[in-house]
């Protein structure tokens, strides 16, 4: 028995933060951000990560033709969830009414969706579960240090979801590779977002994302290429067999360099970073949903996912798509309307972290 993706959906919050808006906050320019990262705008959420997740989850369930009662396992990949106790998955389970589902969070930062895909598929293969809802959701703007121009221009909020169900052999997840180099965790971290350190002694700069951009860039290209090759090899396929590569969306230059290293031409690589920036665990399910909506995946397509992120973690998964590339139904689930402008939402960041970098 194998496991395949039978439903997909996304939920992007309506508030847009453009590069020009960021020029008002930090010493940056639309030209610098566009040429160095490929990002033009990103979304800033007026609701919690669990709210984005619940809407994306409803849409994915409708696409799969499943009801909330069918789901027996909910996996929520996130590194910017609502709370640690209870888990974000607990909150999503409640908001969606998934009363028959076990639920847990999975934190592998930007690799979280690929980790979740492999975990969920193997729960099905092992016979423990029949309908797994896997959601990547992030409210990264909460960690956006508005005085650090090297990080605050990169990230955005959003959620994407897939439904996994049993499939016949040869359809669904064919091969994967997951890895972690914990010794390099210091290159991309939030110094004070957990229990380490003394209670009550947290300076604002410890509460935002801190990163050695060049080190992460170099490692991301190397590991996404190596890991993709390993996963393809484990699938018994060659690079030429891959119809579409859906990489984590962190920087278009990372995506281009990875594709060059693999020898995959850009026509086979899905990119939507210009619209959303880096939404960590949400990037791949959101990109997958858009690739399907744009008709870029056909029955039987070989789809390659590859990701790299905090940890430093990486993961790749190769999927042979089934027969159906259109949703069975659509959901009318929607977020509540935004009651604040983008800048009003970000005022809390400006108050806490400060304005304008040196
Ligand atoms: N606007 C304007 N200038 C900026 C800037 C910004 N937002 N951010 C950095 N700069 C400046 C730097 O201060 C530096 O100036 P200097 O030469 O006067 O010192 C210059 O631009 C070049 O900085 P550098 O760090 O070499 O830029 P880069 O080309 O490496 O791009 C990143 C920086 C962060 C975009 C890039 O390294 C990157 O994408 N890294 C990986 C990040 C990532 O993907 N993280 C998540 C992984 S999941």
Which pLDDT score is estimated for 147? 92
Q: Whose CA is nearest to atom 47 of ligand 1?
A: 309
Which pLDDT score is estimated for 355? 80
Report the residue among 153, 185, 251, 256 best suited for mutation to probe ligand 1: largest number of ligand atoms under 8 A from its CB. Answer: 251
What's the gap in Å between 345 CA and the centre of ligand 1? 25
Residue 207 is among the residues annotated as catalytic for this protein: no
What's the gap in Å between 286 CA and the centre of ligand 1? 25
What's the gap in Å between 339 CA and the centre of ligand 1? 33
What does the alpha-carbon distance between residue 301 and residue 13 come to, in Å, rounded to a whole number?
A: 30
Q: Extract the tokens encoding 173.
A: 């997840």
Q: Whose CA is nearest to atom 3 of ligand 1?
A: 28
Q: What is the DSSP secondary structure assignment for residue 243, as one 8-state letter? A: S
Which pLDDT score is estimated for 356? 67
Residue 278 is among the residues annotated as catalytic for this protein: yes
SS3 237: coil
What does the alpha-carbon distance between residue 153 and residue 27 come to, in Å, rounded to a whole number?
A: 11
Which pLDDT score is estimated for 358? 46
Report the residue among 214, 215, 221, 356 best suited for mutation to probe ligand 1: largest number of ligand atoms under 8 A from its CB. Answer: 214
What does the alpha-carbon distance between residue 228 and residue 231 come to, in Å, rounded to a whole number?
A: 5
Residue 248 is among the residues annotated as catalytic for this protein: yes
Which pLDDT score is estimated for 122? 98
What does the alpha-carbon distance between residue 44 and residue 119 come to, in Å, rounded to a whole number?
A: 29
Q: Whose CA is nearest to atom 48 of ligand 1?
A: 309
Q: Give the pocket of ligand 1 (CB within 6 Å).
A: 28, 32-33, 36-37, 110, 149-150, 153, 188, 211, 213-214, 216-217, 220, 250-251, 254, 278, 308-309
Q: 78 CB contacts (<8 Å, ≥6 apart)?
A: 49, 53, 88, 105, 106, 107, 112, 136, 137, 138, 280, 281
The count of residues in the chain is 358
Is the CB of residue 247 less than 8 Å from the CB of residue 240?
Answer: no
Q: Extract the tokens encoding 172.
A: 């669904």
| Maximal C-alpha separation, the chain | 58
Q: Extract the tokens encoding 284.
A: 């791949």
What's the gap in Å between 329 CA and the centre of ligand 1? 43
Does the predicted model carry a pTM greater than 0.75? yes
The torsion region of residue 298 among left (phi > 0), alpha (psi -120 to 50) and beta comes to: beta
Nearest of 157, 168, 142, 170 to residue 346 by alpha carbon:
142
CA 152 to ligand 1: nearest atom:
7
What's the gap in Å between 102 CA and the centre of ligand 1? 41
> Buried b vs exposed e over 224-259: b needs ≥16 C-beta within 10 Å?
bbbbbbbbbeebebeeeebbbbbbbbbbbebbbbbb
Mean pLDDT per 10-residue segment, the chain (358 residues): 97 98 95 98 98 98 98 98 97 98 98 98 97 98 95 97 96 98 97 85 88 96 98 97 98 97 95 98 98 98 98 98 98 97 95 76
């Amino acid at each position: 028995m194998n496991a395949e993706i039978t439903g997909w959906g996304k939920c992007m919050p309506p508030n847009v933060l453009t590069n020009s808006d960021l020029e008002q906050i930090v010493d940056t320019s639309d030209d610098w951000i566009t040429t160095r990262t490929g990002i033009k705008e990103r979304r800033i959420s007026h609701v919690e990560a669990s709210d984005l997740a619940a809407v994306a989850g409803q849409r994915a369930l409708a696409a799969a033709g499943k009801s909330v009662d069918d789901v027996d396992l909910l996996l929520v990949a996130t590194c910017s969830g609502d709370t640690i106790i209870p888990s974000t998955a607990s909150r999503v389970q409640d908001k969606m009414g998934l009363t028959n589902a076990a639920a847990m969070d999975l934190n592998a930062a930007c690799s979280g969706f690929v980790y979740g895909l492999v975990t969920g598929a193997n729960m099905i293969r092992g016979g423990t579960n029949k309908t797994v809802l896997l959601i990547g959701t992030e409210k990264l703007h909460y960690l956006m240090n508005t005085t650090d121009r090297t990080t605050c221009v990169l990230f955005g909020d959003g959620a994407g979801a897939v439904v996994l169900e049993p499939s016949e052999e040869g359809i669904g997840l064919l091969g994967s590779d997951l890895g972690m180099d914990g010794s390099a965790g210091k290159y991309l971290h939030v110094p004070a977002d957990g229990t380490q350190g003394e209670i009550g002694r947290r300076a604002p700069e410890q509460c935002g994302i801190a990163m050695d951009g060049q080190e992460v860039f170099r490692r991301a290209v190397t590991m996404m290429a190596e890991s993709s090759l390993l996963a393809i090899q484990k699938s018994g396929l060659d690079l030429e067999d891959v119809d579409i590569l859906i990489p984590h969306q962190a920087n278009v230059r990372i995506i281009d360099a990875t594709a060059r290293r693999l020898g995959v031409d850009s026509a086979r690589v899905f990119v939507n970073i210009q619209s959303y920036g880096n939404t960590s665990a949400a990037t791949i399910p959101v990109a997958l949903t858009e690739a399907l909506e744009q008709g870029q995946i056909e029955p039987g397509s070989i789809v390659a996912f590859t990701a790299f992120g905090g940890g430093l973690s990486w993961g790749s998964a190769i999927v042979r798509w089934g027969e159906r590339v259109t949703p069975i139904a659509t959901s009318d689930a929607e977020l509540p309307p935004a009651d604040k402008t983008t800048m009003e939402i970000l005022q809390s960041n400006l108050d806490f972290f400060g304005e304008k970098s040196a």
